[in-house]
Chain A
Amino acid sequence: MEWFSDNETLIQAALAGAILAYSFQIAMRAGVFTLAGVGFWGIGGYTTAYLVTEREWMTVPAILVGILLSGIIGLALALVLGRLRSLYLAMATVAFVLLVQIVAINWEDVTGGAGGMFGIPVTISTWQLLLVVAVVSVALLFFERGARGRTIEAMRLDEQVAMSVGINIVRERDLIFVLSSMLAALSGGIAAMMFNTLAPEQAGFGLIVDTLMMVVIGGAAAWWGALVGAFIVTWLPELLRFTGDYRGIVEGLIVVLVVVYAPEGFVGLVRRVTGFISGRRKPVGTPFADDTATVMPDAKHAQPEAALPEGAER
């Protein structure tokens, strides 16, 4: 279809972005508010690009090395930061991302410095990318089912209850952290091999914001939320082209409106509609809104803020 070839770049960007969005989503769904994915995107991307261009590796092994490396660093990061909660973890991971960026700027021999790497051969086709996204999507679909799905809900909604029924919260969080970092590295490796250049400024706060938007707008409560969100966010500049110079303002406003009025994102909206039709509604309960909260006010609000929760020491 002509539409596909006309919009191929956008489709590629959306699909590649979706994998990174998946990495954010899988973590946030489990209550692990890590934004480190962007750092691993950079690590995966640079590792892959370096191996292919400087060492003449084949694409797939190079990407796999990037993934493995990120998994190891991700585990180290999880061990080190794993006790932190929500905002504190978010900030620590942002700091990690920016540290990675600084390394990328300064380690010129490997990363090409601030200018980045150019002329990386394009070795991944759109169809291959589509296949990868499909495989990852199916994997996530199964991941969120059954016992694992219940564990994830418990991790996000009520850690103490999870611990009280024997779930090893610390280890589960580490696992999620590692998975998230490896998915992010996959996205980075693919991006490096599809889009020809890689510069440190790509792996920074802007990418964090974009990816967060994908998860928020798409909705974190179901695996397909990140995919939908990725397409929406990637297409948004196109759709908003008519706003001209004011596009940035409109995009920002959309984010604010979605977070305030539709915090469950697209997934939430769809579930409301299907629930309305079928008469029975599965409560959504995403990281950003728990509209079915049965928490008594004094239980939650009387706690002074703490970076570490009770009981979850290493």
Chain B
Amino acid sequence: MDAQDVLNVVVIGSIYTLFALGLTLSWGVLNILNLAHGATFMFGGLLAYLVTKDTALSLWIVLPISAIACGLIAVLLEVVAYRQIRKRVADLHASELATMIASIGAAAVLVALAEVITENQLVGINPETFNVTRTEIFGIGITNLEIVIVVMAAILSILLVYFVTRTRHGRALRALAQDPYTCGLMGISQNALAAATMFVSGALAGVAGVLLAMQLNTVEARLGEPLLLKAFAVIILGGVGSVQGAIAAAFILAFAETFTDVYIGTSVRDAVAFALIILLLLFRPQGLFSRVAWQRA
């Protein structure tokens, strides 16, 4: 593996991070296995395409637009589907499964919508949104877009970690994860927190979607699918609900995949994520980084 490969790891890891952060939020905080996350992510890129189709807009305008729109999509799902399920289904396991299936349906809707909009073609975001240039740092070729990706991932990660560990609302999130029942007693509106969490989750997906769409230069309806399972690998590797864990795990996965790519072959690269999932769930289901002891009172 050479320096260029290492750079790839960093870039890919950053994208995985952005994608997984949103998913780890919804799963870790709300117990929602949001399989529509991939489709939301894809939609972020799609919206960027739509918005810039006829007018060139700067990336820095497109990003917030996609972020907000995707955040709203996620909130919509929460209000229309997930919350309804929570209300109607008493058993925790059953509601988790039902939510997962509902998210599959929602993903299907988004993907189908994307297929209609793109007329099943590959489309690309208007290149004028961002002028991609290549530079060399220490002999490694890197584009300014890749720098943006890495920096954005870093900033958003740091912000999220800070929020969850240091602020009052962030800690409330963790309280919610432990015991939603008590939250009601404490006067924290579970619904408002859920909506806010889903909004952030969706927004992160949107940002990741735009950036990846720009990096790959394409958007297509099924863009989110392969990433979904990798995101699960990341979350399980890092420990459900652990933001720091997800970040570390994203880079570990990126490393493992690049390693496989270089030394074994591309065709099995995707298998790495799946194998990791199975191995992790077998031997260390709580993830590499989450602290021990589920407290049983």
By a beta-carbon cutoff of 8 Å, the part of chain A in contact with chain B is 31, 33, 80-81, 84-88, 90-92, 94-96, 98-99, 102, 105-106, 205, 209, 212, 216, 245-249, 251-256, 259-261, 263, 286-291, 293, 295, 297-298, 300-308, 310
11 A-B interface contacts by CB (under 8 A): A91-B277, A95-B278, A99-B271, A99-B274, A102-B268, A256-B102, A290-B94, A301-B92, A301-B181, A304-B178, A310-B296
Q: Is the CB of A307 within 8 A of B282?
A: no
Question: When the two chains form the complex, which single residue of A102, A287, A308, A310 contacts B97, counting CB atoms closer than 8 Å?
Answer: A287
Q: A98-B229, A287-B97 are contacts. A307–B274 as well, Cβ < 8 Å? A: no
Neighbouring A residues of B236 by C-beta, 8 Å: 88, 91
By a beta-carbon cutoff of 8 Å, the part of chain B in contact with chain A is 31, 33, 80-81, 84-85, 88-94, 96-98, 100-102, 104-113, 115-116, 177-182, 225, 229, 232-233, 236, 240-241, 267-268, 270-271, 273-275, 277-278, 281-282, 285-286, 294-297
A-B pairs, 4 with minimum CB distance:
A248-B112, A255-B105, A252-B108, A252-B109
Question: When the two chains form the complex, which single residue of A80, A81, A205, A304 contacts B294, counting CB atoms closer than 8 Å?
Answer: A304
A248, B111: Cα distance in complex, Å: 8
Neighbouring B residues of A303 by C-beta, 8 Å: 92
A209, B107: Cα distance in complex, Å: 11
Question: When the two chains form the complex, which single residue of A96, A106, A252 contacts B107, counting CB atoms closer than 8 Å?
Answer: A252
Q: Is the CB of B88 within 8 A of A289?
A: yes
Q: Is the CB of B278 within 8 A of A263?
A: no
Neighbouring B residues of A298 by C-beta, 8 Å: 181
A306, B31: Cα distance in complex, Å: 11
Q: Which residue of B lies closest to A105 (CB)?
A: B267
Q: Which residue of B lies closest to A90 (CB)?
A: B100
A27, B109: Cα distance in complex, Å: 27
A94, B229: Cα distance in complex, Å: 9
Q: Is the CB of A251 within 8 A of B97?
A: no
Q: Is the CB of A260 within 8 A of B240?
A: no
A247, B116: Cα distance in complex, Å: 10
Q: Is the CB of A293 within 8 A of B90?
A: yes
Neighbouring A residues of B113 by C-beta, 8 Å: 248-249
Neighbouring A residues of B232 by C-beta, 8 Å: 91, 95
A304, B232: Cα distance in complex, Å: 19
Question: When the two chains form the complex, which single residue of B84, B115, B240, B285 contacts A308, counting CB atoms closer than 8 Å?
Answer: B285
- Starting from the known contacts A289-B89, A293-B91, A295-B91, 20 additional A-B residue pairs (CB-CB under 8 Å) come to A33-B97, A84-B285, A86-B96, A91-B277, A91-B281, A98-B271, A99-B271, A102-B271, A245-B115, A248-B112, A248-B113, A248-B115, A251-B108, A252-B111, A256-B81, A260-B84, A291-B90, A304-B177, A306-B285, A310-B296
Neighbouring B residues of A91 by C-beta, 8 Å: 33, 229, 232, 236, 277, 281
Q: Is the CB of B101 within 8 A of A216?
A: yes
Neighbouring B residues of A96 by C-beta, 8 Å: 274, 278
Q: Is the CB of B108 within 8 A of A209?
A: yes
> A161 to nearest B CB, angstroms?
14
Q: Which residue of B lies closest to A89 (CB)?
A: B281
A91, B116: Cα distance in complex, Å: 29
Q: Is the CB of B240 within 8 A of A253?
A: no
Neighbouring B residues of A297 by C-beta, 8 Å: 181
Q: Which residue of B lies closest to A259 (CB)?
A: B102
Q: Is the CB of B94 within 8 A of A81?
A: no
Q: Which residue of A lies closest to B265 (CB)?
A: A106
A300, B91: Cα distance in complex, Å: 7
Q: Which residue of B lies closest to A103 (CB)?
A: B271
Q: Is the CB of A256 within 8 A of B91?
A: no
Q: Which residue of B lies closest to A92 (CB)?
A: B281
Q: Is the CB of B281 within 8 A of A205?
A: no
A301, B297: Cα distance in complex, Å: 13
Q: Is the CB of A288 within 8 A of B104?
A: no
Question: When the two chains form the complex, which single residue of A84, A259, A288 contacts B105, counting CB atoms closer than 8 Å?
Answer: A259
